[in-house]
Amino acid sequence: MLTVALQQTINGVVFGSLYVLVALGLTLIYGVLVQINFAHADVVTIGAFAAYFFTFTLGGNYLASIAVALVIGAALGWVVNAAIFAPLRGRSELLPLIATIGVSILLQNAMLLAFGPIPYAFDSPYSNAVLRLWGGTFITWQNLIIITVSAGTVALLYAFMKFTFMGKALRAVAQDRETAGLMGINPNQLVMLTFVIASALAGMGGAMLGPILVLTPFAGTTVIVKAFAIVIIGGFGNVEGTIIAGLLVGLIESYTTQLLNPGLTDIVVFGLLLLMLALRPTGLIAERREENV
């Protein structure tokens, strides 16, 4: 029984690490702009396809493909923000939200046209390499990569936000954009940086999700629904809450699969979401504008 518990804990941390990467992008955008980005799911999918084609078409190394997906995601975030969101910002709070839905539909249909509806088999060379641990538990090298890369990325993001000038400026914009502008900070540049970082995280998450999910133009949609739930459970705009909630959801999914039924995982997760909304609508860590992101 202890071996099963340890194995499911490992599996839960793996999925939770992936959810955290994707959900952190949503949290950053909401924390700075108080805006929800529905196109975030498609950046995850594009990151997965970028890693796939880099690995199998160009013959690149899978680990390098994660960096490629990060760059592709960051570039896509820059283009989408500059071309679509920036011109709409300041006109209406509703227009950017509607625009994210339009961008999502546009990207999904573009991928459907380019890649077709047939699923791609994204087999990482590390998926079948197993590392034996204690008591019969094990972890694949692919899952070990996911945990290591996710933990390292979160640590770097935390250090960037807390100790660098740009990170502190971004937090200042999240707290009060007008006052930050009066202090010599360019809010538009920081908003652009937020989109770039969020999309880079999504692209990286897609590269690591690809070997786990069936890769189609709609692959990111299944993950983004969980990411939205995680952001709400953790507390909108709160990075620490998102990390805790992401790992919690990963563990809940893993133990539900083992103890109950794999078909009940979504019911349990969204049951937790409804319970959180009823009992603590502010999330695990309540949103405080002075502490956002």
128: three-class secondary structure by DSSP: coil
Angle, CA 244 vertex, CA 240 and CA 250 arms, to 5°:
145
Give the other-Cβ count within 10 Å of 126's Cβ: 17
CA distance 77 to 93: 19
Stretches in the chain below the pLDDT threshold 70:
1, 286-293
What global pTM score does this model have?
0.91
Helices 219-234 and 187-209 meet at what angle, rounded to 10? Answer: 120
131: three-class secondary structure by DSSP: strand
Angle, CA 230 vertex, CA 105 and CA 243 arms, to 5°:
120
Domain ranges of the chain: 2-291
CATH top-level class for 2-291?
A: mainly alpha
End-to-end CA distance of the chain: 39
Give the other-Cβ count within 10 Å of 71's Cβ: 14
pLDDT of the residue at 113: 94
